[in-house]
Amino acid sequence: MEPTTQVSDWTEQIKKDIASHDVFIFAKGEKNAAMCGFSHRVMQVFSVLEQDFEVRNIFQDPEIRPALCAYTNWPTTPQVFIRGEFIGGCDIVMEMYENGELKKKLAAQ
């Protein structure tokens, strides 16, 4: 999007992104090249679970971050969505992975 894109335009793009895949992650970096430890850990968990996921690099479009934080009311990244539902960030995903909740959530249709 253009540098002057409004927050509402980004909100629409966020909704499209989330709807495009069962698991969508807004992260620092690319799918195979995370640029922060938290983003790397989240992507690694889904890879270990052999779960397909898509990533939007928030560094590529810096204006998306304020819109994303407003949309989720969550101040940090990564931000993980499963089937359109905001799950949380790295700590929550790791906790869900460790206690088996994440695998159950991914298996539920």
pLDDT score recorded for residue 99: 98
pLDDT digits (tens, 9 = 90+) for 25-54: 999 999 989 999 999 999 999 999 999 999
Per-residue pLDDT of 75-94, as tens digits, reads 999 999 999 999 999 999 99
Determine how many CB atoms are found less than 10 A away from the CB of residue 11: 15
Q: Please give the full DSSP string across 24-61, using - where no structure is assigned.
A: EEEESEETTEESSHHHHHHHHHHHHTT---EEEETTTS
* Cα 86 to Cα 84: distance, rounded to the nearest angstrom: 7
Quote the pTM value: 0.91
Hey, how many other C-beta atoms are within 10 angstroms of the C-beta on 68? 23
